[in-house]
Structure 1
Amino acid sequence: MGKGPRNYSQLTTKRLYSLSGNQCAFPGCTTTFTSPENDTNLSNICHISGAEKGGERYDPNMTDKERASYDNLILLCANHHIATNDVLKHTVSSLKLMKQNHEKDILKKIGTTDILNKYPSSLAVVINHISSISLDNVETLTSTNTYSPDKKVDYNNVIVYRPILEQYKVYHGKLNKIYSEIEKQGSFKKELLLQNINNLYLRAKGEILGKVSTIEKVRENADKLIELVENYLWELFEKSPNAKEDIPFEAVNIGMKIIIVDAFVRCKILEEPI
C-alpha cells in the first residue's frame, strides 16, 4: 500500500463502514449509502482534519498516516460532505462528536445479543488475534482487581465512552465463561490478551501524558486514553498472523468493544479507584 492521506488501510475502511449503519453520520440525515437494487455507493469518506494543505481544518502537525487513520475519517453523503466545509460551524471537535454520537446510535440499533447469538465465535476470534502477538517491552501492571464499572467510570471521569461501558458491561460474565474454557485447554491466551491490553494502556499513557502521569491528568484525558488503546488494539488485530475468519465485521467490532470493557473492569485500562 502506498503512502498518503487518502491511502486508507482495509481495516480502517471496514471499521468505518461497519459502524456507519449504511447511513450518513450527519444528524437527521436519512441518506443510505448502498441498496440491494444496484451497486451505487453514495458514501463519501471525509477527512475531519484536511487531507492536504489548504483543505478544511488542515493540521500541519499531523502525519499522512494520521490523516488517513480511522480517528480522522467520517462517512457522509455528498451533500453533507459539502455542508461540513463550513469550518466555523463544523470544527474538528464537533465533527468527532458527530461521528461518535452516530456510531453509538448504530451500536444500539445493531442488537448486540442477536449478533453474538448468530456469530458466537466472534469473541473468540478477537481473543485469538490480540493474544497472538506478545508485547513484552513494557512493564506490566500486576493488578488483578475488578471494580463496579460505574465506580471506575466516575473515578476516572469517563464521559464519551460512558454509554459504551454501560452497554457492554453486562457481557463480562459471558467473556468469563470463554476465558474459563480457554484455561481448561491449558492455554494462556487470556493472560496474553490482558497483558497486551495493559501494555498498550501504558504506552497510551506515555504518549498522551508524558513521563509524569497523575490521576488528575488521567481524568482530563480518560476518553482519549481509551480511544488510543482501542486504536492500538485494532493495529494489533490487523498484524495478527492468524487467518481472518469469515465473520461479519460488525460482529468482530462488537467483540472488540466487549473485550475493551472487560479489560476496563479488570483495571487493565485506566486507574484503580482508591
Structure 2
Amino acid sequence: MFNNEGNFVGQICHIEAALPGGERFNPNMSNEDRRSFENLMLMCYDHHVETNKEQVYPVERLQEIKRQHEEIYSNIDRFVHQMQSTISDVTSGIVVGKLSSLRTLYIEVFGEDFREPEHVDEEVIAFNSALDRLASLSPDAKQVFAISLSRAKYELNFLGRETENIYVDPYEIERVTQLDRNYLHSIFQEIERSGVLSFDNLDDGQPVFWIVLQGCESNVWDMIRLFCIKKNLNISQMVSGLNFAAID
C-alpha cells in the first residue's frame, strides 16, 4: 500500500456502492449497511479502478477477495511466522573476487612495485582475509567503513608530522551521515569486530577508530585511498561494493 516514494496509497472502497449509479449498488441495502466494515475494502488506486469492472468483479468475488486478504492478518502468530520466513541474510550470497598481487596498487601509488615475494604473499593473504570479513558486514556497515576510509586522517607524531597510521573521527562520521548516534555506534562495533577498525584514543585523548589491516605491516587501506584520489575513483563505491579488481 506504499508507493516508491514511501507514500501510503491505500483507499477505503465499497464493495456495494455507497450511491446510486455506483458499481454494484444495492438499493435494498441501508446506508448503515453500506458504511459497515463488511462492505468496505482497502485497495490501492489501481485496483480500485480495476474493480469497477462489475462483470469481472461481482459482489461475491470481492467478498471472497476481502475474506482471503483479511484471513492473512487475522492470525497474528501465523502472520509473524510468514514474515520471518521471508527474512534472509543479504550478505550470504556475496562472492568476493580474490586478489593475486596488489601490483597495480603499488605502481600507481609509488611508481613501482618494490616488494619482495614474501611480502607480496603476506599482503595478499591479509587483504583477501579482510575482504572476506568485509563481505559479511551489513550493507550499512560497509557504507560507513567506506565513508570512514574516504575521510581518514593521518596521525601526527610529537613533532607534528604525519605518520603512516590513519584514523577516523566517529563524531565526524555522525555529522556527515546524519545517522542516529546509537545506531552508528552499533555499526562501528560491527565493523570493529571484523578487524578493520580498532578503537583507541589519540595522544590528546580524542576517541578515534584506527583503520588497520590485520596480519600486514603495510598501510594498504591508505594506499587504496590514495589510489582512488589519483585515479579519480569513487572510494565509497569501490569499498562498499567490494570491487577491488582495479588495484590488483
TM-score (norm 2): 0.29
> If you compute each CA radius of gyration, which structure gives the higher value, 1 or 2?
2
**Which structure shows the bigger proportion of residues in helix conformation?**
1
- Larger RCO (alpha carbons 8 Å, 6+ apart): 1
**Which structure shows the bigger proportion of residues in strand conformation?**
2
